[in-house]
């Protein structure tokens, strides 16, 4: 199973390396996300700061929402409330994250947005292989949406029993509820 995941990761890395429209696609994805009923009705949102090959969904800070972001703490993600981008610092992997003294957000949210290397329409998510989000999602509650570029949506993500499922996938061109 790990070989299948590694193979898919390599394929997606190559696709990402060749992507030329990331900024425009991120903007379109953000427009689609913010017009979605799940976003509009959510008050408490757990989001993420993007790595270089992920969609940037926080370029414009959400107004009227309480935003929580993850922070790497050992082998786990701790999640903290953040009021603005200026409260973020570079973290373990160079990803912007809340400061260590930011207030804990707990594990209950209206909407949880997660990054990934690949997603499928049955709830499969391929992460980077460290399991941070799988461990976080097992103890979190809320509607979970994978966020990715269109070329990261694949027919099937290899899954193991410990892999957390997602409820929907949001791309620049669509929002798909996942079928189990």
Residue ranges and CATH numbers for the domains of the chain are 2-177 (3.40.50.10420)
The token pair that represents 124 in the structure block: 């499969």
Any idea what the Cα angle at residue 116 is, between residues 111 and 118, rounded to 5°? Answer: 120
The whole-angstrom separation of Cα 119 and Cα 126 is 6
* Contact predicate 113/48, CB 8 Å: yes
Neighbours of 123 (CB within 10 A): 21
The whole-angstrom separation of Cα 168 and Cα 179 is 9
Alpha-carbon separation of residue 35 from 29, 43, 132 (angstroms) = 10, 14, 28
Residue 118 has a pLDDT of: 98
Residue 1 has a pLDDT of: 67
* Segments of 20-167 assigned E as strands: 44-46, 66-73, 76-82, 88-90, 96-98, 108-114, 118-119, 125-126, 141-147
Alpha-carbon separation of residue 37 from 13, 43, 108 (angstroms) = 31, 12, 19
Residue 88 has a pLDDT of: 97
What's the helix, strand, coil split of the chain in %, to 5? 25, 30, 45
Residue 60 reports pLDDT greater than 90: no
Residue 92 has a pLDDT of: 84
Please report which confidence band the pLDDT of residue 131 belongs to, taking 50, 70 and 90 as the band edges: very high
Residue at token pair 């107004």: 63
Residue 115 reports pLDDT greater than 90: yes
Average pLDDT over residues 128-148: 96
**Interval 87-110: pLDDT, tens:** 999 998 889 999 999 999 999 999
């Amino acid at each position: 199973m790990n070989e299948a995941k590694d193979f898919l990761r390599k394929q997606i890395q190559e696709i990402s390396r060749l992507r030329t429209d990331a900024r425009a696609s991120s903007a379109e994805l953000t427009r689609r996300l913010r017009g979605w009923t799940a976003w509009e009705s959510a008050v408490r949102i757990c989001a993420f700061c993007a790595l270089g090959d992920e969609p940037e969904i926080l370029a414009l800070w959400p107004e009227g929402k309480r935003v929580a972001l993850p922070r790497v703490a050992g082998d786990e993600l701790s999640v903290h409330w953040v009021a603005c981008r200026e409260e973020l610092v570079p973290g373990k992997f160079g990803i912007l994250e809340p400061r260590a003294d930011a207030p804990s957000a707990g594990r209950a949210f209206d909407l949880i947005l997660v990054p990934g290397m690949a997603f499928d329409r049955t709830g499969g998510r391929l992460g980077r292989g460290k399991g941070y989000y799988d461990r976080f999602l097992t103890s979190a509650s809320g509607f979970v949406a994978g966020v990715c570029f269109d070329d990261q949506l694949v027919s099937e993500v290899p899954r193991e029993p410990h892999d957390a499922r997602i409820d929907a996938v949001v791309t620049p061109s669509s929002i798909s509820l996942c079928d189990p």
